[in-house]
Amino acid sequence: MASERTSRNQAEYDGPGDHQSGHDHDVTGSTAWRELSAHQPHVYAMHLREVFAVDPERGRDLTIDVGDLHIDYSKHRVLRETLDLLFSLARETHLEDKRDAMFWGEHINTSEDRAVLHTALRLPREATLRVDGQDVVSDVHEVLDRMGAFTDRLRSGEWTGHTGERITTVVNIGIGGSDLGPAMVYQALRHYADAGISCRFVSNVDPADLVGTLADLDPATTLFVIASKTFSTLETLTNAAAARAWLLRGLGIDESDTKNFAVAKHFVAVSTAAEKVADFGIDTDQMFGFWDWVGGRYSVDSAIGLSVMAAIGKEAFADFLHGFNIVDRHFRSAPLHQNAPVILGLIGLWYNNFWGAQSRVVLPYSNDMARFAAYLQQLTMESNGKSVDSHGHHVTTDTGEIFWGEPGTNGQHAFYQLLHQGTRLVPADFIGFASPTDDLPVASSDGGEPGSMHDLLMSNYFAQTKVLAFGKTADEIAAEGVDPHVVAHKVMPGNRPSTSIIAPELTPSVLGQLIALYEHQVFVEGAVWGINSFDQWGVELGKTQAKELLAVLEQSDAPAPQDDSSTDSLIRWYREHRGR
């Protein structure tokens, strides 16, 4: 890991910044793009049955092992030649230079003039990285140490609430990256919660979320983590203020006494905005910081993971970070043709741009990963849902795959029909594990020894990838004696692509590896498209207009007319039904 230990400052750097200002930014004008376009009809005409028949070793060859992840990408509608062309596209768009620029701390988030350094959050203590004159690694570990000391006190019971009782529930109040990451990880790693502390998550400004979450909690044993990078997010600050009122009321303290010292025993903050935290009434000694170079959707491995650390402990959290780092090192050093995030990112882009696929479905065969698709939606879609490139020019091709999904077998009984027989191409990512987090015996199919419920789950995983790829022809169905009128309805076309990702077990490290695998795919796609994957200006206007419209909803006299007749009449209807 020599390169991680090397500090490079910007003066030494002679990388992609130069390339970016010098070359044609339109990726569709590149040679590789043209060649891929010409090549696509050839692949389109082939069925995966044929692809496997002419290249029988591809099921063994088109796999890659990274850390604990075994990744099979052979069931994709790509030939070896396709992959070579995709690697040429990556080279032509300077993917490796751009990747290195991220790891070195270049300000690749150009619209906000920021470095993008979530990878620094998982560097080991002995690594060195100076960015903009600052020793980033020691900053990261200083916060991790503070988080560890605090969560040790919580977990041991040394930290108590206002009445001297032990904290048993941590409620994280945040939204977007300040919620989805810790909520997903806490659920995925629930087996590692070993200190009698459980977590809950409140995000929505719909009061039902907070009210429902707090309904059966005891203020005396509840600690709130107010998680907000900016500490200015309306939803979070509104919920935090309501939670504080709930706490004070529950402890029999005057609700208006917001600076009461009881608050200090029950509220901590995670933020980059110390002043705003203090304004809210949380002592900055009880704030765990991070930095503007950590995007919200890339922050679960920063102090935003405090609630998770409270539940699973600092050692398991360190394993989680180590998992990310395994994939970071792989992404940074493996050649393109052996680089898992590069291969998977480019295959995603292949379907998105050359096949007209609009979405990718993520199917964990693990109930504990139920929130993974929701987490990935923010990671991928807030990152790559952009219409202008990083220079502000309109892109000339589609960007931003739409991510969606559900845990495996639930999906099978809901939307897999469309995956198997619908008219749309939906590439799928299957995620499964060899060892279960829970298992139960099931009666064996042959009346012998009881089998394993986990094997039953995984038999579905393997069956689905197989059926999607190879299907069942009309001849095969007719040969089974099926009524000829029904044959067409039963044909399984196959030729539907998927990636199979499989790991020994869902451990903290494996979860970190999986997240990093997707983070870097986002990077690969964004880099090839030439967009800035690290800003999110598209969410701002809605926030501003909501503030303005709130004032209109609350007006005591007639509502101010809106610019458009639809919003105007909707607001009038709403106010009427609110009795205003």
Distance CA 261, CA 231 (A): 21
Residue 74 lies near ligand F6P (rule: CB under 6 A):
no
Residue 175 lies near ligand F6P (rule: CB under 6 A):
yes
**Minimal CA–CA distance to 468: which of 495, 499, 429?**
495
CB of 178 to ligand F6P, least distance (A): 4
Comparison of 26 and 292: residue with beta carbon closer to ligand F6P = 292
Q: What is the CA radius of gyration of the chain?
A: 26
Residue 176 lies near ligand F6P (rule: CB under 6 A):
yes
Residue of the chain from 15, 16, 105, 177 that contacts ligand F6P (CB under 6 A): 177
Comparison of 260 and 271: residue with beta carbon closer to ligand F6P = 271
Please report, as residue ranges, which positions from 259 to 298 form the binding site for ligand F6P (by CB under 6 A): 296-297
The two tokens of residue 382 are 């807030």
Binding segment toward ligand F6P, per CB under 6 A, in 174-182, 218-226, 502-510, 571-579: 174-182
Residue bearing tokens 């906000």 = 112
Residue of the chain from 149, 434, 539, 546 that contacts ligand F6P (CB under 6 A): 539
Comparison of 236 and 437: residue with beta carbon closer to ligand F6P = 236
Residue 411 lies near ligand F6P (rule: CB under 6 A):
no
Annotated catalytic residue 382: yes
Number of residues near ligand F6P (by CB under 6 A): 15
**Minimal CA–CA distance to 466: which of 422, 502, 500?**
500
CA count, 13 A, side-chain hemisphere, 385: 15
Distance CA 111, CA 388 (A): 11
CB of 238 to ligand F6P, least distance (A): 12
Comparison of 402 and 492: residue with beta carbon closer to ligand F6P = 402
- Catalytically annotated residue among 393, 489, 543, 547: 543
- Catalytically annotated residue among 57, 158, 394, 413: 413
Long-range CB pairs of 124-133 (<8 Å, 24+ gap) are 124/322, 124/325, 126/5, 127/1, 127/4, 127/5, 128/4, 128/5, 128/6, 128/7, 129/4, 129/7, 129/105, 130/7, 130/9, 131/104, 131/105, 131/293, 132/10, 132/105, 133/9
Comparison of 71 and 270: residue with beta carbon closer to ligand F6P = 270
Instruction: Please answer whether residues 340 and 330 qualify as being in contact, where contact means their C-beta atoms are separated by less than 8 angstroms.
Output: yes
Residue bearing tokens 């009880």 = 286
Annotated catalytic residue 275: no
Residue showing the smallest CB distance to ligand F6P in the complex: 296
Instruction: Please answer whether residues 354 and 29 qualify as being in contact, where contact means their C-beta atoms are separated by less than 8 angstroms.
Output: no
Residue 236 lies near ligand F6P (rule: CB under 6 A):
yes
CB of 227 to ligand F6P, least distance (A): 7
Active site residues: 382, 413, 543
Binding region for ligand F6P (CB under 6 A): 174-178, 228-230, 233, 236, 296-297, 382, 536, 539
